[in-house]
Structure 1
């Protein structure tokens, strides 16, 4: 039986990868920091390993007889100290790479991000041939840096160092770089937070009628990881993971609202929202708040920037075509929120 070792298995994306691989008959060992908080994973035929990517001695010992290491653990946030992002995203990733090498695991699948290519508004559809350009030049970024830039910068650095490491030691490394991911069990960012805000009765919301926003349904993403596992490509490869086309962001919000039985809020112009976000973010930084305020420069820009990528390489090399339509993906996602009484 084929065997994988999966980091970040209790997270949103990781849990779906574990579920999909189990359905394909792959033996999965899952790294979790606290097995008591891995409720969903305990419903799957997986072996739970308690540990942390910042403790490489545990990783190496757990990789015996493993075919492929799948790394999804990361610090994903728009708030926090750069050192905290670096520790998890860069140091943690390199711990994983070194542990795989020492254990004789030659095939690694790493979770990157479209953010490595930059998320600034652009008319250009970005591909794997586009240069890494993660840092967004926010207004006053030199005075108080954006936490989302900490995420982007460290993800790009982690992937760059992992690629160099794999090339040096002749390891087979495939990096899957997803765009914005949504689906069942996503409860902390994105469309779930949007639906909660709309359900609370807000009549207005930041947004544009013109910007396109690329997404991927988490079950399609999990299948792409499996295709990369089955292909076991030699050398170092990167694949952007996204739907065939980027929908207008307002159309996405409308589809979520209609499925949830909610009225779509009216869009607010960026000029009305950005100054407020700047003040809220500056105040939170000065007061050393542990969590992001409701609005930040990064959050606001996401609602107005045109962001498009191409999945042509994943289709051509791995045979990846999304299995679920956008409408079906959104229907399934909202149905899960309703079933869990989250909206």
Structure 2
């Protein structure tokens, strides 16, 4: 089977390519970064430089392809709505149109469990509990709209995955962000860091994607993906800092005060049209304050998904490659 992977030069994309080629797939690695893309090429991988926001570019790249993994996205907590809309909504529809034209056998779309975000504790969230609207930030709003696009193209066999808190070697988001804050003021904690959180080794997400391509039960379904190891936030941080041989430095923050600051900062940044991310947003505040865990029972039952790497193993692998990670 030949699979096109959008976002192939990104953090997750490179692991998807590795997982697929390890199981004898032919891969078309589609992405914007030519330097990284050329490093992916081998007998099983052909790199195509392009941007799926341009329909002609993604349509041409899909010629001769059997399946698509749409992992490319604008994934950040702050920015201009038009940028999120064009990349995550219009771009996804471009992929869907091209899949329809070329009669693609299956599309695996990488969504986000950030759509569940709310100012409350939520445990064992099931896929059907996703809100139809969540305007907490533009990224979340765009992902909900993108999922709606998937539903509208019923003639394109699709699978939606919502992987939680990806981390691993090459991570440019979660761990680097935490370490930057740790270096400046210490790891921020609310409620002593006792809220339960789900994270996922990026290798496990790549595995779930391959299983989604292979499972006949997956078509038309949506799956949460995690490591299935919910833990207190501080417990994960303790292990990470210990493996990195960094001081376990924490700062306890008052939630009501920080909520007021976050809301004010967001309003100020929006008014002044500042594109740089505020030091705190309501979304990051919810992540640091409330428990959120996902049920992956459907993925285990229908995909046969079982994480192949534990959180501890993932942290050790990250630490072994630090600071190159």
Q: Is residue 218 of structure 1 aligned with residue 202 of structure 2?
A: yes
Does the CA contact (< 8 Å) of 2:110 and 2:160 recur in 1? yes
Residue 72 of structure 2: aligned partner: 73
Q: Deviations over 1:204-251 (max 9, x none)?
A: 623333211111110011011111112244741111101213111111
Residue 117 of structure 1: aligned partner: 116
After superposition, the CA RMSD in angstroms is 2.1
Tell me which of 155, 180, 185 is aligned to 1:202: 185
Residue 220 of structure 2: aligned partner: 236
> Within 5 Å, which residues of 2 pair with 1:65-144?
65-135=64-134
Which consecutive residues of structure 1, in runs of 5 or more, have no partner in the other structure?
A: 137-145
- How many Å apart are 1:194 and its aligned residue? 1.0
Spell out structure 1 runs of 4+ moving beyond 4 A.
42-45
Residue 314 of structure 2: aligned partner: 329
TM-score, normalization by structure 1: 0.87
Which consecutive residues of structure 2, in runs of 5 or more, have no partner in the other structure?
A: none
Structure 2 CA distance for aligned equivalents of residues 87 and 100 of structure 1? 18
Q: Is residue 29 of structure 1 aligned with residue 28 of structure 2?
A: yes
Matched residue count: 323
TM-score, normalization by structure 2: 0.92
Query: Which is further off, 19-28 or 274-283?
Result: 274-283
- How many Å apart are 1:322 and its aligned residue? 0.7
Residue 141 of structure 1: aligned partner: none
Does the CA contact (< 8 Å) of 1:195 and 1:257 recur in 2? no
Does the CA contact (< 8 Å) of 1:118 and 1:133 recur in 2? no
- How many Å apart are 1:133 and its aligned residue? 4.4
Q: Deviations over 1:48-99 (max 9, x none)?
A: 1111111111222222221111101111111112222111111111110110
Residue 269 of structure 2: aligned partner: 284
Secondary structure at the aligned position of 1:236 is classed as: coil
Tell me which of 288, 296, 316 is aligned to 2:281: 296
How has the CA–CA distance of structure 1 residues 232 and 50 changed in structure 2, closer, same or farther, with 3 Å as cutoff? farther
Tell me which of 231, 235, 240 is aligned to 1:251: 235
How has the CA–CA distance of structure 1 residues 210 and 230 changed in structure 2, closer, same or farther, with 3 Å as cutoff? same
Structure 1 CA distance for aligned equivalents of residues 170 and 94 of structure 2? 28
Does the CA contact (< 8 Å) of 1:126 and 1:310 recur in 2? yes
